[in-house]
Amino acid sequence: MQTIDFATFEPHHIHACREDFLGNGDVGRYVFIPGSNDRAQSIADKYFTNVVVRQSKRGHHLYLGDMEINGKTFKVASISTGMGTPSVDLILSELIILGAKRFLRVGTAGSMQPDVRVGDVVFATASVRDESTSVNYVPYQFPAVASLDFTCVANNVRKEVDYRVRMGVVHTKDSLFAREFLCGPSGQDSISFVNKMKAYGVMATEMESSHIFVLSKIYAKLLGYSIKSGCVLGVIGDDDPFSNDKEAQDLAIQNAVDFGVRLIKNMAAEEVA
């Protein structure tokens, strides 16, 4: 059993150092954390200037750059967490130990409500912890909640856009194939579980946000400073886990990215002097 020396820590899964996450005063870089590397790269290509890429042998490439708001430049980054909470655990932990303090997941989800449709955007205010990674840190009674600052800013930003943005609780699962496609001998259990989530008003289902929220709270307490995280999701499935309407799926992702960029810009306008 070995504990980490945070002062001398070197990451094993990403190519980065502490200096990469400095900037924006005490806030540090704002980091977009989509699940896929393609989305991490597309965010950097479209919205960043002065991009520097730190290649990773495991495909978690780090894109460092600048964004501008109201004539002021601030530091940003994007990097893929990979799929599922075990991968989130590796990448987010390394980012936090290296000094990153602000994270926004920009991902995809399936609808769990009839009025949440493909193309919509969902901002996750909290997540049902239907995954086992976070249990290694805290019991299931511990809530997985987005940072209040992200939620408040998201509530303002959604008034600026012309696409539908819903805010509410989402569901984070361990297994797509068990929960969504009912593979394995426990299919009836998954049907019952998902139906309960729908009855409780849970808006959408995805695979990462709960652990992002938990890790942010745990490391903030451990390190003694504020770590904030949020999650924006493009809805790419409703009646089926994955819609056959590719155009609507692309629009959902486009809208989620647009909302995420607006959200980070507004956060920076409030936090960075």
pLDDT score for 245: 87
pLDDT in tens, 62-98: 999 999 988 899 999 999 999 999 999 999 999 999 9
The closest alpha carbon to 91, from 259, 208, 230, belongs to: 208
- Count the domains in the chain: 1
Residue 15 lies in a domain: no
State the Cα–Cα distance between residues 50 and 258, nearest whole angstrom. 20
Considering the domain boundaries, does residue 248 fall inside one?
yes
Q: What are phi and psi of 85, to 5 degrees?
A: -70, -30
Domain-embedded: residue 88: yes
User: Band of the pLDDT at 1, cuts 50, 70, 90?
Assistant: very low
Look at strands 72-79 and 49-54 and give their pairing.
unpaired
Q: What's the pTM value of the predicted model, to 2 decimals?
A: 0.96
Per-residue pLDDT tens digits for 225-265? 999 999 999 999 988 888 888 999 999 999 999 999 999 99
Q: What is the CATH number of the domain that holds 202?
A: 3.40.50.1580
Structural domain contains residue 270: no
Q: Contact at 8 Å (CB) between 103 and 228?
A: yes
% of the chain with per-residue pLDDT over 90: 92
199 domain-assigned: yes
Does residue 1 form part of some domain? Answer: no
pLDDT, residue 130, reads 98
Q: Count how many residues are written for the chain.
A: 273
Instruction: Please state the rounded mean pLDDT for residues 182-200.
Output: 96
Report helix angle 37-47 to 246-271, nearest 10. Answer: 60
DSSP 133: S
Tell me the C-alpha to C-alpha distance, in Å, between residue 223 and each of 3, 34, 46, 97: 14, 24, 33, 9
Encoded amino acid at 256, one letter: A
Q: Within a domain: residue 40?
A: yes
Which pLDDT score, from 0 to 100, does residue 20 have?
96
pLDDT score recorded for residue 137 = 97
What was the pLDDT predicted at 4? 85
Domain assignment of residue 202, given as a range: 20-265
Q: At what angle do helices 246-271 and 148-157 cross, to 10 degrees?
A: 120
Q: What is the average pLDDT across 175-183? A: 93
pLDDT tens by residue, 18-73: 999 999 999 999 999 999 999 999 999 999 999 999 999 999 999 999 999 888 99
* Integer angstrom CA distances of residue 271 from 150, 223, 265: 11, 20, 10
pLDDT at 273: 65
| Percent share of the chain, pLDDT over 70 | 99
- Strands 49-54, 228-237: pairing kind: unpaired
d(CA 152, CA 219): 22
Q: With beta carbons less than 8 A apart as the criterion, state whether 199 and 166 touch.
A: no
Interval 195-206: pLDDT, tens? 999 999 999 999
The reply to whether 5 falls in a domain is no
